[in-house]
Amino acid sequence: MDKIYLNELTFYGYHGVFSEENKLGQRFLVDLVLAMDLSEAGSTDAIDKTIDYGDVYERVRKIVEGKPVKLVETVAEKIAAELLRSYERLQSCTVKVIKPDPPIPGHYRSVAVELTRSRS
């Protein structure tokens, strides 16, 4: 299966378990792997045979910058569901939601959740 990668889409959202996260907000990064057959897009050079990256970005932005939820797992599920619902050509997607600065003690680069969802 062919793949499209969108890396480190960056947003500011208010998701989290702690009230400070809901008030102050924080950065979220999203990595996507979109699996589909790209042969027709490659041979015809037609945007309607692939997925518009700008449209994907806007759909993800509306979720991440939208109504706050507690878990990044929920954010990732919403993104995967929206992408599969919106793009008929999409066979599966892997969504990674990264919190670079979560309010937990310790030294680390980030915390993240990654999930893969496919059409049934």
Kindly tell me if the per-residue pLDDT of 104 is higher than 90.
no
Task: Give me the percent of the chain exceeding a pLDDT of 70.
Answer: 100
Domain ranges of the chain: 2-118
φ/ψ of 26, rounded to 5, equals -165, 170
- For residue 23, indicate whether it is catalytic: no
DSSP state of 65: T
Determine which one of 70, 78, 96, 99 is catalytic.
99
Q: Residues 93, 32: contact at Cβ < 8 Å? A: yes
Segment (H or E) for 50: none
Dist CA 46 CA 91 (whole Å): 19
Kindly tell me if the per-residue pLDDT of 55 is higher than 90.
yes
CATH 3.30.1130.10 correct for 2-118: yes
pLDDT at residue 5, rounded to an integer: 98
